[in-house]
Structure 1
Amino acid sequence: MKIEGKAFIITGGCGSIGGTTAKMIIERGGYAVIFDVLDKETGEAKVKTYHPERAFYFKVDIADYDGVSAATAAALEVIPKGSLAGGVHCAAIAPGRQWSHKLRDSVSTFAKVLNVNVYGTFVVDAVIADAINSQYPDQGPFGERTTEERGIIINIASAVARPVPARCLTYGASKTAVLGVSSGMSDFLGPFGIRVCSVSPAVVASALMGPDRLPYFEAELEAAAVFPRRQSDPSEVGHGIIFLIENGMMNDYELRIDGGWRNSSNWAGPVDPRKNAISLE
């Protein structure tokens, strides 16, 4: 897919990965429609630093179906007619708490994480896909199988989606579900010429990670990643996303950007990992 002249909805587009990806799309002649939770004035001011004319902002809660639908409909009015070619879904939450031996302490957190990270992913993917298809003539209740490429949706999963370590108990499992949503959506949307892929980064310094957890995970990368043993730069993730957009054969694919990190709790280390971990996600 050629990005020039195409528009992409980017959730979490005011964050590190989403913001970097938006700028890369704009640099290639595309349009970036940013969905995020910043207030309207702050969000608009931020995205105008990406580009004064080809970046647009909408305040959106990704777990609010009506809100996502309304913002997407509004986006179709501000971008060039027929230009919507996909979405990059970066928005997520990763709340943390002190590690305890009681699993029930994580139940309420799990419910919140599932609602945003999993239900929100399904909502965003579904609404964007329908919006892409709305730009094409109605072909009946099922639609003819097309041979043209209409678009691509990329969901951000995580290196902790598989295997899921104990310290990412709720967040990791939610990202495992994101991989499942991506695969199912790919099969469903194939006849409409819409590809669906996922990107699984390792540790990326961002507001999602927070300053308290970063040193712990950096130590884990140093101990267990193959190479390089460091956090990922948002641009490295962004370049992976651009590759998936531009290569039309990439579909139903999980791109891991993780330095070969296959994490699990290091019970063989000199210190009990439960004492090192700042929080359980």
Structure 2
Amino acid sequence: MILDGKAFVITGGLGSIGGATAEMIVAKGGYAIIFDIVPEDVATEKIKTFKHSDKYFYSKTDITSQEILEASLQEALKHVPNGSLFGAVHCAATNPNKPWTSKMSDKLKDFETVLKVNAYGTFLVNALVADAINSQYPPLDIYHERVVEERGAIVNLSSVVGHTPPARCLTYGPSKTCVLGITEAAADFLAPSGIRVNSLAPALVISPLMQSGDRIQYFKDAVEGYSMFPRRFTTPDEIAAAVIFLLENSMMNAFHLKVDAGWRQVTSWANGIDREFRSFTWK
């Protein structure tokens, strides 16, 4: 797939990974349709500072609301060339950052929250973006009618903790495991429409959260102790470059790509080791 002239929805597009991805898509001649929760005026001023800012469209969007997301997509289609919508990079997610107790049931509300955003939100974004892509073409007569042309590609951000959820990611990890399942099911369902669906799993990514507070040393120790090589945090640009690979390579479909330097998530049960780090946010 050639990205030049093609538009992609990027949820969480003003964040570290989403922002880097949007910049790379635009640099290749594409259009970035950014959906985020940042207020419109703040987002608009930020986008004005971007190179080729005329190739960005922003909408404050709730990825758990079908009505709001559909409205945002319909508005976005008015601001990009006709027939140019070719996919999505779904980065938006949440992780309730709350201290643990010794009762697993205390995490039920958190689990409900992350499933709503990370699992249902992923399904909703995939479904509505795919429908919007297909709306640019004559409708298929029956489901199993298959097209020849490539119509689009979707990349869902999972996480290494979605592949093997450790105890310290009791709710977030399983919600990202759902992303893996949704990706494979969506790839199969959308195959007749010529739309590919893949997932990408980052590990520890450089972000304002990871660079502040007392947790930074804990994360540095985890990377140093349990990464293969290189033993460092991943940059947003490295994740974005992997996203671009999945978009451009037309043979990539129903694939789960880890970008984690071979990092292994290890839970230590020694007294005090994890005491101060029983909840944190993954991106």
TM-score (norm 2): 0.94
> Matches of residues 122-133 of structure 1 in structure 2 within 5 Å?
122-133=123-134
AA matched with 2:125: V
The aligned residue for residue 61 of structure 2 is: 60
Q: Which of 219, 229, 232 pairs up with 1:230?
A: 232
The offset of 1:266, in angstroms, is 2.6
Deviates more, 1:113-122 or 1:199-208: 199-208
Kindly state the Cα deviation for residue 280 of structure 1 after the two structures are TM-superposed: 6.0
- 1:240 equivalent in alignment to 2:242: yes
Alpha-carbon shift at residue 214 of structure 1 (Å)? 4.0
Task: Trace 1:98-137 onto structure 2 (pairs within 5 A).
Answer: 98-137=99-138
Q: Provide the residue aligned with 2:257 in structure 1.
A: 255
Counterpart residue number, 1:154: 155
Q: Which residue is equivalent to 2:11?
A: 11
Distance 1:214 1:107, change over 3 A: farther
The separation in 2 between residues aligned to 1:78 and 1:94, in whole angstroms, is: 32
Quote the residue 1:83 is aligned against.
84
1:196 and 2:181 are equivalent in the alignment:
no
Distance 1:181 1:108 in 2: 22
For 1:172-211, list aligned pairs within 5 A.
Answer: 172-206=173-207, 211=212
Deviation readout 1:110-139 (Å, 9 max, x if unpaired): 101110111111111100000001111112
State the number of aligned residues.
279
1:21 aligns with 2:21: yes
The 8 Å contact of residues 216 and 278 in structure 1, kept in 2 or not, is answered as: no
Q: Which runs of 5+ in 1 are unaligned?
A: none
Q: Does structure 2 conserve the Cα–Cα contact (< 8 Å) formed by 1:265 and 1:273?
A: no
Once the two structures are TM-superposed, the CA of residue 96 in structure 1 deviates from its matched residue by 1.4
2-side partners of 1:209 and 1:69: how far apart? 33
Instruction: Give the counterpart letter for 2:234 in structure 1.
Output: S
Residue 143 (structure 1) shift: 5.9
Deviations 1:15-37 (A, max 9, x none): 00000000000000000000000
Aligned CA distance change for structure 1 residues 214 and 73 (closer, same or farther; 3 Å): farther
Matched-pair identity in % = 48
**Cα distance in 2 between the residues matched to 1:211 and 1:123:** 33
- Paired position in structure 1 for 2:32: 32
Cα shift at 1:99: 2.5
Q: What do the CA deviations read for 1:194-223 (whole angstroms, capped 9, x no partner)?
A: 000000000113357683444322221111
Within 2, Cα distance between the matches of 1:206 and 1:71? 27
One-letter amino acid matched to 1:64: S
RMSD of the alignment, in Å? Answer: 1.6
Give me the TM-score of the superposition, normalised by structure 1: 0.95
